[in-house]
Amino acid sequence: MYCTDIMMEEHENILRFLTSVRSMCCKVLDGSELVSGDFRNIIDFARNYSDHHHHGKEEKFLFNEMESRMGAIGQNLIRHGMLVEHELCRAHIYDLENALKLWDKEQKTIYKLDILEAAMGYATLLSRHIKKENDVVYPFAEKHLSKEVIDSVNDKVSAFEAETEKQGIQKKYLSMIEYMIKTYGAVEDQHDLL
């Protein structure tokens, strides 16, 4: 199994989570209670599964090889494309965290708007980002990196996966996805955003 197969499986998990984020935001817009703890699940999932667990493997293993071995094309694709979008995702989560802190002190409409904007901004950006990685970045890496480099990345990803499995990372966040979908449902209609 290629490292990109594992990463694409994680993309499917993340996309399932994002459908629940969209649904949760829609329910709040329709008048349901804004449950701070469930919006904090987005922060937890984003930082620890999407970012540390998934983006960590991309940034430490695959993207480093692409930047160092593919010249200007690889550097531009990674440094000025994928890594910029990773940072934008982090910015949305930072904004969400700040909006939730303000909401917890005083439940003003503007703070609710900020929460929804940050959550939806994150969901939309990451959904688009995943499509680019699945359709362009991963196939490009598989085509242009040597077998030896791919094998090395595969070994590093496998070791990382084994270590995080011991820590229960995958189990925790797959359970969170199921909780969020059970609680909020899933909105999969992207209105051609992708």
How far apart are the C-alpha atoms of 190 and 149, rounded to whole Å? 36
Residue 142 lies in a domain: yes
Residue 191 lies in a domain: no
Residue 39 lies in a domain: yes
Per the structure block, which two tokens stand in for 43?
């922060």
Provide the domain count of the chain.
Answer: 1
Domain that holds residue 19: 3-183
**Hey, what amino acid is at 73?**
I
Residue 112 lies in a domain: yes
Structural contact between residues 141 and 43, judged by C-beta atoms closer than 8 angstroms: no
Helices 3-29, 147-166: axis angle to 10 degrees equals 50
DSSP 3-state of 26: helix
pLDDT, tens digit (0-9, with 9 covering 90-100), for 24-56? 999 999 999 999 999 999 999 999 999 999 999
pLDDT, tens digit (0-9, with 9 covering 90-100), for 103-127? 999 999 999 999 999 999 999 999 9
Residue 193 lies in a domain: no
Q: Provide the CATH number for the domain around residue 57.
A: 1.20.120.520
Residue 188 confidence class, pLDDT cut points 50, 70, 90: confident
DSSP 192: T
Residue 111 lies in a domain: yes
Residue 53 lies in a domain: yes
Residue 135 lies in a domain: yes
pLDDT of residue 192: 46
| Mean pLDDT across the chain | 94
Q: Which residues are CB-contacts of 50 (< 8 A; sequence separation ≥ 6)?
A: 14, 17, 89, 126
Which CA distances in Å does 182 have to 17, 47, 177?
A: 11, 22, 8
